[in-house]
Amino acid sequence: MPKYTFDAAYEKKDEIALDVYNVVGSEMKEYGYIVIKTLITSIEPDAKVKDSMNEINAAQRTRAAAQELAEADRIKVVTAAKAESEKDRLHGVGLADQRKAIVDGLATSFSELKESGLSEKEVMSILLTNQYLDILNAFAKSGNHAIFLPAGASGAEDMRTQLLSALEANKMK
């Protein structure tokens, strides 16, 4: 046994049994005994060796468990990131579709109002006023508590005039 490491002794139990058979069998033959077979059923190392082996096994299992947990965490993070990315992409698609629908609706309204005989400036005035009132309505429903608007009844008209002036200035550029 001294020529083997502990792990090798476990692996070569059959070879050791054969060595014991050969050595003990030849010695016992001199005394009239015949050894039929030698069996090694258990190899019992020193308690310190057993404790060391158990610590090594525990450390290996702990390391493997830590690696598996880390991999599981990585998979969770990657999956969450993919889900967040897909959510953002779909939100962008939805927002783009919504804006396209608004633009298409405004273009249709603009065309219909122009066909009714209104001037381009009058149509813009109606659409801007309508948009202004829609925004005020959405703001009121949102639960916000403060909004700054021009004082007086002419506030909406002042804002409409400013918007039309800005549009005219951009048109001339």
| 88 shares a domain with 64 | yes
Residue with token string 């990585």: 74
Residue range of the domain that includes 78: 45-117
Question: Which parts of the chain sit beneath pLDDT 70?
Answer: 1-2, 144-145, 147-153, 155-156, 172-173
Q: What pLDDT, on the 0 to 100 scale, is given for residue 130?
A: 79
| 111 shares a domain with 49 | yes
Furthest CA-CA distance within the chain: 132
Q: What pLDDT, on the 0 to 100 scale, is given for residue 153?
A: 63
DSSP secondary structure, the chain, as one string: -TTS-HHHHHHTHHHHHHHHHHHHHHHHHTTT--------------HHHHHHHHHHHHHHHHHHHHHHHHHHHHHHHHHHHHHHHHHHHHHHHHHHHHHHHHHHHHHHHHHHHHHTT--HHHHHHHHHHHHHHHHHHHHHHHT-------SSTTHHHHHHHHHHHHHHHHHH-
Q: What pLDDT, on the 0 to 100 scale, is given for residue 152?
A: 64
| 66 shares a domain with 101 | yes
Q: What pLDDT, on the 0 to 100 scale, is given for residue 3?
A: 73
| 95 shares a domain with 51 | yes
Q: What pLDDT, on the 0 to 100 scale, is given for residue 149?
A: 65
> Total domain count for the chain?
3
Q: What pLDDT, on the 0 to 100 scale, is given for residue 1?
A: 64
| 98 shares a domain with 160 | no
Q: What pLDDT, on the 0 to 100 scale, is given for residue 147?
A: 67
Q: pTM for this one?
A: 0.44
